Amino acid sequence: MRFAPSPTGPLHIGGVRTALYNYLYAKQHGGTFVLRIEDTDSNRFVPGAEEYIIEALRWCGITPDEGVENGKVVEVASEKHPYGPYRQSQRRGIYRKYAEQLVEAGYAYYAFDTAEELAAKRAEAESHGQTFIYNQVSRKQLRNSLTLNPEETQKLLAETTGWTIRFKMPENVTVKMDDLIRGHIEVNTDTLDDKVLWKRADELPTYHLANIVDDHLMEITEVIRGEEWLPSLPLHYMLYKAFGWEDSQPRFAHLSLLLKPSGQGKLSKRDGDKLGFPVFPLRWVSPEGEVTRGYREDGYFPEAFINMLAFLGWNPGDERELLSLDELVDAFSLERVIKSGARFNPEKAKWYNKEYLRMKSDEELAELYLPVLEAHGVKATPEYTAKAISVIKDRATFVVDFWTAAPYLFEAPSDYIEKDVAKFWKEENYSHLHAVREHIAGYAGAWKVKAIAESLEGYIKGEGWPIGGVMNCLRLALTGAASGLGIAEIIYTTGLQEAVARIDKAFEKLA
């Protein structure tokens, strides 16, 4: 299997899903997962895009077996990487002979039309409300080796550098194709144009030729790719036939598009900006300096991201929703990939992250939370941090939520919300707080949230004091506000001494 992105920008989540499905299929069948960089279109090359792709796959845990080594695309073929190099621009010497082989066998021809000539043809067609297509009809009136005599052709080949090799699409042939997701497809060649396969100007193949030649040379057995390549499939079938490689031709599976959350239309980068969710795995800074957010930087766990992506257009056919990468490898099947577009649901992405957060141990999460605390100028031990996480975990979707939901687990409040003070810091309530303070200071029961809660409530109720009012004063003292975590959860985390100190401070400040 191969994932064959073009380094034209950051990898969209749809591209990551394609890579993931290739990876899952390869691993399930004991195959090899190859990363091939298709960079033959130098006009669309974006610096940094290849590094982004490699880093994104690495972050997702779907590292290629072939094609990358230590984060670099393998530059030369070797015993370990017999099919390299894996960057098409470094394979340029390979393709010309294949293109010429097709010309010799009558499946392709040389085309000498200049860019200006073709532009003029297009403009002329447009002025009649038509579209110019280089195909089996128009090629008969254009300057190519089918219309020129052999001497003229040889002369132009030798003396000019603007020519190309085009595929000679046969007339009125029904191409019969099979797609592993979409089933049988038939297309008549009369609807297809004569695609350029190789260009003399930069001595590079186009996508179609390079893709077919490389899939053949790299012995790719199955191709899973995006639906945008389905219109190219008849040409690819014709190319395999023209080369005489039909017997080893890969089987194809075209994935449907990812749709907007509304279900209307393709998920675009702009939807992410508009609706506030990332559509790229990692943050991307374009060469122009434009910043695009990524799942990694937004605080998603790679396992959650991958799990969510796998389920965009596929499911295991049972109730399970949470599957690790290894479990996905076992469960995946192309038969269960849906034909229709998969609607992207940003809420579901969050749900996955929340579930994966809950599955992690407090100690593991503490390790991830410590740098966040440090950024807030808080020093805490891993043990204390893990304890704080244990009381707040269920309320968090992301690690940063630990802080936003309850900074007071790490810092005594320095202010008290005025509106809450006005509403709850009333004498009939806070007057009991002195006694409650003593009760807390003397607590000697089990160090469990439940036990602390029962003791505190039992005491206040037993005294016949207004429980809500007293508790709100207590919460104000401990957190600076009248809402937040349960009182016992806070005391359990901070300890008795800190809780008592905060009550004293509140009396001082709110007196």
Q: 53 near 16, Cβ under 8 Å?
A: no
By the rule CB under 6 A, 245 interacts with ligand GLU: no
By the rule CB under 6 A, 256 interacts with ligand GLU: no
Q: CB within 8 A of 145, min separation 6: which ones?
A: 103, 109, 110, 111, 153
Displacement of CA 29 from its chain's centroid (Å): 24
Geometric angle at alpha carbon 502, from 499 and 506, rounded to 5°:
140
Residue 261 CB, nearest approach to ligand GLU (Å): 24
- Which range in 4-12, 177-185, 385-393, 488-496 contacts ligand GLU by CB under 6 A? 4-12
The burial of 286, by beta-carbon neighbours within 10 Å (0-12 exposed, 13-18 middle, 19 or more buried), is given as middle
Binding residue for ligand GLU, selected from 1, 4, 304, 476, defined by CB under 6 A? 4
Largest CA distance in the chain: 111
Residue 6 CB, nearest approach to ligand GLU (Å): 4
Identity at 143, one-letter amino acid code? R
Out of 241, 269, 348, 509, which one is annotated catalytic?
269
Identify which of 478, 430, 439 has the alpha carbon closest to the alpha carbon of residue 457: 439
Binding residue for ligand GLU, selected from 1, 16, 38, 110, defined by CB under 6 A? 38
Binding residue for ligand GLU, selected from 101, 146, 180, 229, defined by CB under 6 A? 229
Residue 133 CB, nearest approach to ligand GLU (Å): 22
Residue 92 CB, nearest approach to ligand GLU (Å): 16
- Which range in 1-9, 104-112, 482-490, 491-499 contacts ligand GLU by CB under 6 A? 1-9
By the rule CB under 6 A, 502 interacts with ligand GLU: no
The burial of 462, by beta-carbon neighbours within 10 Å (0-12 exposed, 13-18 middle, 19 or more buried), is given as exposed
The CA radius of gyration of the chain, in Å to the nearest whole number, is: 32
Active site residue 393: no
Residue 363 CB, nearest approach to ligand GLU (Å): 41
What is the Cα–Cα distance from 207 to 349, expressed in whole angstroms? 33
Residue 89 CB, nearest approach to ligand GLU (Å): 13
Helices 449-463 and 433-441, packing angle to 10 deg: 140
Q: CB-wise, 211 or 385, nearer to ligand GLU?
A: 211
Q: 474 near 504, Cβ under 8 Å?
A: no
Site string for ligand GLU, 352-391 (x = CB under 6 A): ----------------------------------------
Binding residue for ligand GLU, selected from 225, 254, 475, 502, defined by CB under 6 A? 225
Residue 96 CB, nearest approach to ligand GLU (Å): 20
Site string for ligand GLU, 184-223 (x = CB under 6 A): -----------------------x---x------------
By the rule CB under 6 A, 5 interacts with ligand GLU: yes
What is the Cα–Cα distance from 342 to 363, expressed in whole angstroms? 36
SS (H, E, C) 85-131: CCEHHHHHHHHHHHHHHHHHCCCEEEECCCHHHHHHHHHHHHHCCCC
Beta sheet of 108-111, edge-to-edge order: 108-111, 164-167, 196-199, 204-205
Q: CB-wise, 67 or 413, nearer to ligand GLU?
A: 67
By the rule CB under 6 A, 87 interacts with ligand GLU: no
By the rule CB under 6 A, 307 interacts with ligand GLU: no
What is the Cα–Cα distance from 340 to 337, expressed in whole angstroms? 9
- Which range in 2-10, 239-247, 259-267, 437-445 contacts ligand GLU by CB under 6 A? 2-10
Interface ranges with ligand GLU (CB under 6 A): 4-6, 38, 207, 211, 225, 229
Residues labelled catalytic: 269
